[in-house]
Every structure is written in structure tokens, then in C-alpha cells.
Structure 1
Amino acid sequence: MSAKSSTTVSDGFSAEERAAMKERAAELRAEGKKGAKKADELQAVLDRIAQMAPEDRALAERVHATVTAAAPGLSPKTWYGMPAYANPDGKIVVFFQDSGKFNYRYSTVGFQDTANLDDGDLWPVSYALQQWSPAVEKKLVELVRAAVS
């Protein structure tokens, strides 16, 4: 992924990135029944992202790329119609909610109780996301890695 595409919201996935994701889905299908299920779940996430408004779609694409790179053990799947990422037990760890889902003014990245983010008696589990930047990417990588640790 080029530095520009990872920091510019309007770029979204490149043609090469889209092709690589389709190839990965085909590889999973070729692995048999379990692989086909993973491929279908990945495709459902990509389809859901493709249906979003352009601003939300660009953010969701960056979140997807960042989460899958930072935590390759998480599996993409939809959850309540949102792109989400589950641990090997199938439990959701992190999800993306586009602003258009409930007509919010911002998109969010949220973490479920399976995420290892507990910090005392009060800690954030949802983050507003309005624009992608290197600082946002760095923070999300830190959160995701902590969540799966």
C-alpha cells in the first residue's frame, strides 16, 4: 500500500488492493467449506463497504486495511450490517460503523467486550472517526494490537 493511499481519505482502495482481496477470497474458497465461509464473510464486508457513502467508504477501507494488517488473526465478517473483525472463537473484537448507518455526524470504530482494553473502572470502547491521517492510523494500530493481546 502506498504512503499516499494510506493517508488520504479520498483514495480508498487501489485497483491492485481490490484485486488482491478478490484473489484472497478465491484462495479461501479453494480451501474448502471452512475457507468458503471465510471468503463469503470477507466478501460480505467488502460489499457492505462498497455500499457506503464515499466519505464513509474511504474511512471503512482504511480501517479494514489497518485492522487486517495489525491483527491478521481476526476474521472479517459483518455484524449487524457493519464491517467487523472476529477472533478465532467467532466473537467480534472490533467493528466499524459508518455515519450513514444511523445518520450520525461521524463514523465510529468500536470494540466489544472481547477486546483487551480494560483499564480500571472506566475506559473508552468507541472512537469517533471523521478523517483519516497517519496519527489516526497509528492510534488504531495500537488499539487493535492491544485488543487482541
Structure 2
Amino acid sequence: MAHEESGGFTEVELAAIRERAAELRAEKGGKKAAAGLEDLLKSIRAMPEDQRAVAERVHVIVSEAAPGLRPKTWYGQPAWTDADGKVVVFFHSSAKYGTRYNSLGFEEAARLDDGVMWPTSYAVTGPLGPAEQEQIAQLVRRAAGATN
């Protein structure tokens, strides 16, 4: 993603910043969990069909694998938080940022630590098969602190 010649943010980056600011204002205003879910579903509905199908599947996987995580948006994209409101898992649509692939990622609140180095983000280039779905479920359970 190229920056403007001035070295400033691109329009896409500025839009993401504005979305995040609106999310923070809503949270500060006591936004209800149901509104977080509706925002997440709205962000998924706005994606192109192929990415929407992947994001919808990720949402189902996260909801089933770690029912204690709360859905919301983060920079206008689907995310799931722990009880403290910290993002654990997120999904970024490639269309949103003009990138080559969708990303499934984990933030610092995720409990994925494994030695001195471990992956925190995965490229998702197509439909999720059974093996990928199980891998995501295992990662999400682990990230959320589930022991099974």
C-alpha cells in the first residue's frame, strides 16, 4: 500500500483510523455486546463474496471454539476480545486494505506463546477446508486459554 507523496496516510489508512476512533467512542459510551456482534456482522456483509464466505466461516469457528470471546470490530474489521476487552483474534479482508491475501491474526492477549518465536498471523487465500477449519479452531481455543 503506497503512501501519499507527502509521507502521510493513504485514504484507506485514514478511513481505518476514523473507524477505530468511532469504535473507541462507542465503547466509552457503554456500547452493548449485541451492538458489537451487529457491527462485526455488518463488516462481514460489506466484504466481497469470496472473502465474506471465509469471514463468515471464521466467525462460526471462533464462536464455537471459544464462546467466551466477544465479537466486535477493530479498525472496521471482525475481531473477538477477551473479558477485559483486549483483542485476541482478528480477521482482515484483503479488499479492505488492498492486500494480496486475507489475514487471520492474533494479538498479544492470545495465549499462543511457544518458546521464543511463534506465528501471530496467517494468510488466508481461499475457501477453508476441513483441515484449515480444525487448525483455526485449535489456534483459537489455545489463544483463548482453553485447555482442550
Which TM bucket (shorter chain)?
0.7 to 0.9
The runs of at least 4 consecutive aligned structure 1 residues that moved more than 3 Å come to none
Deviations 1:50-106 (A, max 9, x none): 000111100000000000010000000000111000001111000000111111121
Gaps of 5+ in 1: 1-33
The answer to whether structure 1 residue 47 and structure 2 residue 42 are counterparts is yes
> Which entry has the higher C-alpha Rg, 1 or 2?
2
One of 131, 136, 139 as aligned partner of 1:135? 131
- Partner amino acid, structure 1, of 2:107: Q
Deviations 1:95-145 (A, max 9, x none): 000111111121010000010101111110000111210011000001001
Gaps of 5+ in 2: 1-29
Two-structure CA RMSD over aligned residues (Å): 1.4
Identity %: 49
Task: Give the Cα separation in 1 of the matches to 2:130 and 2:53.
Answer: 14
- Partner amino acid, structure 2, of 1:108: S
Task: Give the Cα separation in 1 of the matches to 2:106 and 2:130.
Answer: 21
Aligned length in residues? 116
One of 90, 107, 110 as aligned partner of 1:112? 107
- Partner amino acid, structure 2, of 1:142: Q
Residue equivalent to 1:145: 141
Structure (1 or 2) with the greater helix fraction: 1
Give the alignment's TM-score, normalised by structure 2: 0.75
Partner SS, residue 32 of structure 2: helix
